[in-house]
Chains A and B, each alone.
Chain A
Amino acid sequence: MDSKIANNRNILIAVDESENAKRAVLYVKDLLAGLSGFHITLITIIPEPPEDYFMSESEKTEWVKDKNVSARRIIEGYHKIFSEAGFREEDVKSHAVMKKCASIAECILNEKDNLACGTVVIGRRGISKKEEFIFGSTSSKILHTAKDCSIWVIE
């Protein structure tokens, strides 16, 4: 069992390049600007395709490099939003995590545990029922499986 004790003031925001992620970031920024004692971690998960996807090692290396660059660009952009709103540098951290994810929701919740965050913020993409049926919904899965934390789903 993880010995880290989650703190509700440690807030994890799961982001990607979508508009809904941006909404989640802006919501937290507006809600907490000017308040002290909150620590924010921006995280973007880069699901690594299966080995079979790549035709060669060099192709995989190139793919990893490209994805890391774009992930850094995304979280640096969001980081800047907090900086410009007056959040202290030490209160806002950002990580890009590349890993094999059977489920992105599980990867986000694992990071939540690793970072001892008591609050997880996600944007809801508003996928169709058909898409949820075939591919599942990350926000629904987080809502249904998260434990020992609060979940904010930003519409």
Chain B
Amino acid sequence: MQEITQTDQKQFSREELRERIAHWMGPERVPKKFSIITDTTDFYRVDYDDVVILGEIPYLIRNNEREGRFGIDDQQKYWVKRARDLSDGSVKIIKLVFHERFQSKVGGITFDCFRSPQKEARILDLTKGHPRFMQGFALKDSSNNVIRIIDYIRGKTLADAVLKYGQDHEDYFYNYFPSIFDEYMELVEAIRFLHEHDDKHGDIRRDHIIREEGTGNSRWIDFDFDYLHKENVFGYDLFGLGNILTYLTGRGDVTSQLLQQASSPLISHLTEHDMNIIFNNRVVNLKKVYPYVPAELNNILLHFSMAANVFYDNTGQLLNDLNEARVKLNKP
């Protein structure tokens, strides 16, 4: 297990902190009153304008991060703070310790999940310098809490980014999708890297890929989720990868509701076998909707359909099929 060292928290005077805040944020942003915190156990008490000292570095706390999921109003994550590093002015995400265990339900299947700061710390260490993962490090606060300091990634989710490509789906598919597919394959390779090191992402979904402004690198974020696996340790990760591929291929979710709203004649040609095995309103047999989707790619998608009898056990199998499908793209 990775050892996370506990370093002494450096002492800073209030005056010194005020100077640093003024330097990086501007004199008008120096708070009149602020708490200096070294023990973050009660993360609700770590508030806007407080200064958290971790190791050698003071961080000025800004807002709590939020997480939106499928149209539900964004939920504040009180244990995840946006902050300014007062040693270099950079924006960081500081993830405080929040242990939780709960049961998730997907498609009527219930399974045990938990949140683990240690897991995220280990993966940050493992993926240091990897262009497909968020970057950061972990250290302990004065109460031994494993805190993760993460470089803020400026950019949109990959899912949001693809929606603006192409005048229509066909234009998107021929002119933009091949390079998005390459990007997706690199993201799958990155997950294979985790799996080969006996770790899983744990919460693969499309809003956990951020495409970084400037470099254009899409990176996986948020590794603190985990689940108690049953027979196939990586099955849930693979399910997430399949959903993302379906979304990218379709330039968004193609749902039975959308086809109905558009009075599409296709709706009468779809059967339950064409739908996602878990999300039964999402079409995965996209060749029925977009006939130019190559069979090799469509066959991958069908592994995630109600009709599937063979499932992917590991990312290697998926990547083999993706490589075969790749040569068929770009050929109108």
Contacts and interface: CB of A to CB of B under 8 A. Distances in A.
Partners in one complex: yes
Interface of A: 49-53, 55, 102-105, 128-138, 140-141
Interface in B110-133: 111, 114, 116, 118-119, 122
Nearest to B306: A129
Given A53-B228, A102-B233, A129-B277, A135 B109 contact: yes
B168 interface: no
B320 interface: no
Contact of A136 (B114, B228, B230, B277): B230
B308 A133 contact: yes
A36 B305 CA distance: 49
A53 B111 contact: no
A135 B236 CA distance: 7
A134 B118 contact: no
A100 B122 CA distance: 18
A48 to B, nearest CB: 10
B226 A52 contact: yes
Given A130-B277, A135-B109, A51 B228 contact: no
Given A50-B226, A130-B108, A134-B239, A141 B116 contact: no
Given A52-B114, A53-B116, A134 B228 contact: no
15 contacts: A52-B226, A103-B232, A103-B233, A128-B108, A130-B108, A130-B109, A130-B278, A131-B109, A133-B304, A133-B311, A134-B106, A134-B111, A135-B109, A135-B235, A136-B232
Contacts of A53: 114, 116, 226, 228
Q: Which 7 A/B pairs are nearest by Cβ-Cβ distance?
A: A136-B232, A136-B231, A52-B116, A135-B230, A52-B119, A138-B231, A52-B118
B3 interface: no
B199 to A, nearest CB: 9
Contact of B198 (A102, A137, A141): A102
A104 to B, nearest CB: 6
Given A53-B226, A53-B228, A132-B311, 15 more contacts: A50-B116, A50-B226, A52-B118, A53-B116, A102-B233, A104-B230, A128-B109, A129-B306, A133-B235, A133-B304, A133-B311, A134-B111, A134-B236, A135-B231, A136-B231
B291 interface: no
Contacts of A49: 228
Contacts of B23: none
Among A50, A51, A52, A141, the one with the most B-chain Cβ atoms within 10 Å of its Cβ is A52
Contacts of B228: 49, 53
Contacts of B214: none
B33 interface: no
B229 interface: yes
B114 A134 contact: no
A50 B228 CA distance: 8
